[in-house]
Amino acid sequence: MLHVVLFTPRPDLTGADRQTFGRSLDHAFTSIPSVRRFQIGRRIRTGAAYDQLPGDFDFCAVIEFDDPAGLREYLTHSAHAELGRLFYATSRSAFAADYEAVDTAPAQALAAWHAADHAEGG
């Protein structure tokens, strides 16, 4: 399971605001047991065609969990509640979504998900 967050901080944040948010990030990812991996990245532009797509965020975070229960544990943990409060207070724009991820050949995974969607009537 992946929790993917895209965000751009507010331009008026102070250094203290950024430090407080950073400490909250560190606390959440070190104190919530279900977090398996955490990565954060800054957007770069390579000149690729997708650089022109709508939706522009300065940063991304990808948080990995073993299963949906781990994601739910993270989302309901008190450390995430504080992080979420600060996230919304410090972000100019944001997007978050959860994804099922598998370690397999990409085409095989897409075919399986497509078959499952059609079996469910999707």
pLDDT in tens, 42-60: 999 999 999 988 888 999 9
Q: Which CATH architecture has domain 2-119?
A: 2-Layer Sandwich (3.30)
pLDDT given for residue 122 in this prediction: 59
Residue 110 has pLDDT above 80, yes or no: no
Q: Indicate whether 117 pLDDT > 80.
A: no
Mean pLDDT across the stretch 9-23?
93
Q: What is the mean pLDDT of the chain?
A: 91
pLDDT at 103: 74
* Phi, psi dihedral angles at 58 (to 5 degrees): -75, -30
pLDDT tens digits for range 86-104? 999 999 999 999 999 877 7
Choose among 28, 34, 98: nearest CA to 69: 34
> Rounded to whole angstroms, how far apart are CA atoms 71 and 48?
33
* Triad 27, 33, 101: Cα angle to 5°: 105
pTM of the model: 0.83
